Structure 1
């Protein structure tokens, strides 16, 4: 009888342990669902379990056009009258991003990302006679290498919190050149927005909170980018501070729709490149840099939860600024498209 009692006690204890583990796993925040990742434009939004690896590719297209002075629209004649010989008309930018994430433990996930950037800018030049003419410049190349570490603090009751530490290594050029009507047939160094890299080591620090229910998920990410020192051309890009918030609805096991709202503050460029002439073009004048922005986006995620494409994820987002206050005279931000594919092993 004593043996039977011991066996019964062991059975009860084992059952309670299995129930507790099952209940704990059920209450974890999980990434293996379509809304288990943030909108595709958000970086560092999730971590992985030990030994997991994820490869990703993202494509982003961002367009800027029309001039703003603070929050007011101004025309190119206004900028010319302010003393600038050349003013920008529009600037489309394309970025291809390749990334990899690897979890060295259940707490720590490492990441790396490299991008290839193509910048195009159409400009208008006003001659002393008052006549105007248009021309274009272009730059492209591999950008700065970004390394990161994500540390999971908690994952409990379908809520999660992790920290982000990232380092940007200045592998992208800050010496991009092109021919202009004033320099022809020679090429000259292009202004700040047309450069591919920052030229400085930059530190990213942030926190990401995630929450889930059966059909909904949400998240918030607070992140700051700090520039260290100045580059070889005696300037550094402005620090950045962002607060990203998103909400998603899981319609079924493979599709979710999302909405996102971001507040972004960008400080002005610190210092100045002595090779640039500030009064030649607005984009070469550091007093025309930085600003405050509120961006809104809508998108969707498609997730293959079974079959030969299991763990393949496709995301798309369309974003627009709903408020922007620039410092000085700058091109206004317009629409941004981001699409990407992620595959986890």
Structure 2
């Protein structure tokens, strides 16, 4: 009889623990819903439980076209009149991003990211009153990023975590192509056409997340710090990004999101002496960095069960609301980001 009571008491304790665990789980922020991840363009937005893996692929297409002098549109002729022989017309950029995340504990999630970048730029040369259009391109592997996310808090359907990422300068900073002035020889391409940074960079960020039954929200502050200069004696500007988003969980498999981002980018520090700043606007470091306010709309599709359980498809279309680049730069247009994320 005594053993039966002990067994019964053990069952009661076990059931009580399960009930408490379920209640705690209900009160925790959860990634197992379509809006459990931020819009697909936001990185390091979530973490995983101990032993969890995630593999991801993102494709981003960004377009730039036309010229701005600070926040004012200007013609290519005006840029030529400012002393530049070459001026850019447009620049589409595509990036393929591959990511892996693994959580050795409930507090720490490790991450690694690699990318393949394709840059194309249409330009025109004006000499002796004659305008000659031409194009340049560059492509290759970008810098590799390694880092971790640390979970500070997850309760009351709110979460707070920090991230630190180190960038390894794998990407090329010596991309070359042919121009009308160099033909048939190749010359070094300007700063925006290079694939990597050439510097060891650090990214620091904090993210706050909140959820209710049918909607969620988040804020993320990130900064990229570039230490020293690369082998060509320059470094891209430090930058600060502040993302805020709101998502509505329409069903258990789809959510819709709106995002707004403030982006502040410093000018290039130092000068690559192999580039002539009076030849083209993109070789002049005064024409780098700026202040941007971007808005985005997107959706997440999430499989909560079945053959594709924990597979997520994200899409976002974003565009500048306000932009004030330093000096003369291409005007930023639309950016489309599509991605797949699969958790184990």
Same fold (TM over 0.5): yes
| Partner residue, 1:44 | 44
User: C-alpha separation between the residues in 2 aligned to 1:117 and 1:111?
Assistant: 20
Matched, 1:35 2:43: no
What per-residue deviation string (whole Å, max 9, x for no partner) do you get for residues 115-154 of structure 1?
0000000001110x21111000000000000111000000
Q: Which residue of 1 aligns with 2:303?
A: 304
Cα distance in structure 1, aligned partners of 2:7 and 2:56 = 51
TM-score (norm 1): 0.96
1:21 match: secondary structure = helix
Distance in 2, matches of 1:334 and 1:203, equals 27
Partner of 2:161 in structure 1? 162
What TM-score, normalized to structure 2? 0.97
Distance change (3 Å), C-alpha of 1:137 and 1:3? closer
Counterpart mapping for 1:125-164 below 5 A: 125-127=125-127, 129-164=128-163
Q: Note the C-alpha offset of 1:6.
A: 8.6
* Aligned: 1:111 with 2:105: no
Following superposition, the deviation at residue 23 of structure 1 comes to 1.4
1:17 CA drift (Å): 4.0
Q: Equivalent residue for 2:99?
A: 99
Matches of 1:315 and 1:134 in 2, distance apart?
37
In structure 2, what is the equivalent of residue 263 of structure 1?
262
Give the alignment of 1:238-317 within 5 angstroms. Answer: 238-317=237-316
Secondary structure of the corresponding residue to residue 332 of structure 1: strand
Gaps of 5+ in 2: none
CA offset digits 1:270-325 (Å, max 9, x no partner)? 00100000000000000000000000000000011111111111000000000000
Which residue in 1 is equivalent to 2:176?
177
The 5 Å alignment of 1:192-207 reads 192-207=191-206
Q: What does residue 20 of structure 1 align with?
A: 20
Number of residue-to-residue matches in the alignment: 344
Q: Alpha carbon RMSD of aligned pairs, Å? A: 1.7
Cα shift at 1:182: 0.5
Q: Deviations over 1:196-221 (max 9, x none)?
A: 00000000000011110111011100
- Measured in 1, the distance between the counterparts of 2:8 and 2:135 equals 82
* Match in the other structure for 2:88: 88
**Could you tell me how far 1:22 is from its partner in structure 2?**
2.1
2:325 aligned partner: 326
**Equivalent-residue separation in structure 2 for 1:136 and 1:82 (angstroms):** 22
| Mapping for residues 47-66 of structure 1, pairs under 5 Å | 47-66=47-66
Query: How far off its partner does 1:2 sit?
Result: 10
Provide the C-alpha distance between the structure 2 equivalents of 1:136 and 1:191, rounded to a whole number of angstroms: 13
Determine the C-alpha separation between the residues in 1 that align with 2:193 and 2:332: 15
Q: State the SS of the aligned residue for 1:45.
A: coil
Cα distance, 1:19 vs structure 2 = 3.4
Q: Secondary structure of the residue that 1:132 maps to in structure 2?
A: strand
Distance in 2, matches of 1:252 and 1:296, equals 24
In 1: Cα distance, 2:5 partner to 2:148 partner: 51
Q: For structure 1, which runs of at least 5 residues remain unmatched after alignment? A: none
CA distance in 2, matches of 1:324, 1:52: 39
- 1:259 Cα offset (Å): 0.5
- For the residue of structure 2 that corresponds to 1:90, the secondary structure is strand
Q: 2: distance between equivalents of 1:278 and 1:305?
A: 54
Change (3 A) 1:145 1:7: closer
Q: What is the CA-CA distance between 1:15 and the residue it aligns to? A: 5.6
